Each structure stands twice: as structure tokens, then as C-alpha cells.
A and B are shown apart, each in its own frame.
Chain A
Amino acid sequence: MATVELTFSALPAHVRTARLVATAIARRTGVEESLLDEVRLAVGEACSRAVEAHRAHCPGEPIRIELKDDSGRFEVTVSDQAPSDEIKQEQPLDLGMLSDSFMSGFGIAVIAGLADDVEVFPSPKGMRIRMSWPAATNGHPPI
């Protein structure tokens, strides 16, 4: 098992860096080329959500990403420290309800639509989003 950990300040400019790192490690881990766009977008969504949450609640605290190559899966966990206890259920689309800055639940809905496997752990001490994709291990095909 190999793990890469990355922490970054809650600045929008760093989200791109996080996306690039995650995509590079996914590629090296053996995630299929056709899935790399999904990895990039899902990790970007999770980091964007975390940045927005930190800017609202704790701008001085860093956001943490863990990238693991474990048992034939590429696993990414994005953890923030902003209080979060709500995950809104998907509702019928109503343009009047949507704002310029999409509600955080929308980003999570996008992640759920992209990642092969997603778990969201909201808590008063922060949210953790874990997602994974199949990856080749030592030349063996993805699980």
C-alpha cells in the first residue's frame, strides 16, 4: 500500500493543484485512462466544497487529501474541518432555487454520479468524503 497525503490552505487556486496531483497518482496507480476525467472532476468537486466550507467557517485551517493505492483500488479521501451535518436530498430541479454558488449538496451529488464508490461522513467537526475507483495492481487487471 502506498499513501500520498496533501494538505493545502483553503484557497480556490489550490484546488487545481489538488486535481492535478490526484490525476497524476491515479494514472500511475493504473486507473484506466477513460476514468481519469471522472477522478479529476470528483476530486475537484470534493476539494471545492471543502474550500468553500473552510472559507465560511475556518479559513485558517488546512484541507487534507489522502490518496491510497490499496488492494486494487485507487482511494481518495478529502477531509475538512468545517462543521457539517446536513446533506440535502436530491430535489426536483427548480431554477429559482439554484444560486450562483451551488449548494454544497450539489457538488456531492456530482461526485456520487462520477465515482465508482463514494462515502460521505458529515460531522460537527468536519466532513470526510471517501471515493474510490478500480486500479491495476502490479500489472493485474483492475478489480
Chain B
Amino acid sequence: MDLKLDHHNEDRLTIVEVEGEIDVYTAPRLRELLIDLVNKGNFHLLVNMEKVDFLDSTGLGVLVGGLKRVRAHDGSLELVCTQERILKIFRITGLTKVFGIYASVDEAKEAHGKDK
């Protein structure tokens, strides 16, 4: 399956919907979207990965790159993910300590609201 990307804003949060496979072929599209969002002043990103079928280290690199960019503006990049197959790669790489990972968009929004 190819990669589908969409995004919308809710309050100060930009929710990025990702569907399909994030790999060495498709990851550049996600990277471009994240860079574009940051360039347009969206510094609090929530990436919903519930419909992601596949994620490799190239995709992780793009997410880390996005995190670095938003942090340069005191922003945040957090994830929504409950799929074990995707969470496993975050655990193997130790990135569970780097990203805020939530079970749902609502849970992330609630946590984000408390941080404001």
C-alpha cells in the first residue's frame, strides 16, 4: 500500500494523518510535509499512526528530523500509536523515550492541553 497523508488543525495542534507504508521510498513525502508544516508555523504536531501498516528506520529518521525541527521552535511532535508491530520498532531503537506516544488522538489532545 502506498502512503496517504492528510493534516488538519485543532486549536494549536496540527494533526497529521498517515496511512500506508513509511519506508525508504515513501518517507521523503512525509519529510516534505513535516518540513512544510513547520515552515508555515505549525510547531505542535501530532502524527496519527493508527493506519500505518509498515514503518522502518527511514521513517523513524523522518519523525526524528521533524522532532528536531519543532523543538527548535519550542514545539512538540507526538505520536498516536497502539499497533504492536509499529511500537516494537520504537522500543528496539529506544525512541519510546524520545517521543510522546498516545493511545488515541483525544488522549494526546488532553495531555497537550494540560501542558499549555
Contact = CB atoms under 8 A, between A and B. Distances in A.
Contact of A102 (B25, B54, B60, B94): B60
Nearest to A14: B25
Given A40-B54, A44-B54, A48-B58, A16 B64 contact: no
Given A48-B57, A52-B24, A95 B93 contact: no
Contacts, number: 75
B47 interface: no
Nearest to B71: A95
B31 interface: yes
Contacts of B89: 41, 110
A107 B23 CA distance: 12
A interface, over-half SS: helix
B24 A93 contact: no
Nearest to A38: B88
Nearest to A52: B24
A95 B93 CA distance: 12
A15 B64 contact: no
Contacts of B12: none
Interface string B91-116: 01111011000000000000000000
Contacts of B67: 95
A106 B59 CA distance: 12
Interface string B69-102: 0010000000000000100010011110110000
Contacts of B94: 93
7 contacts: A12-B23, A16-B23, A37-B85, A95-B71, A100-B61, A110-B57, A114-B92
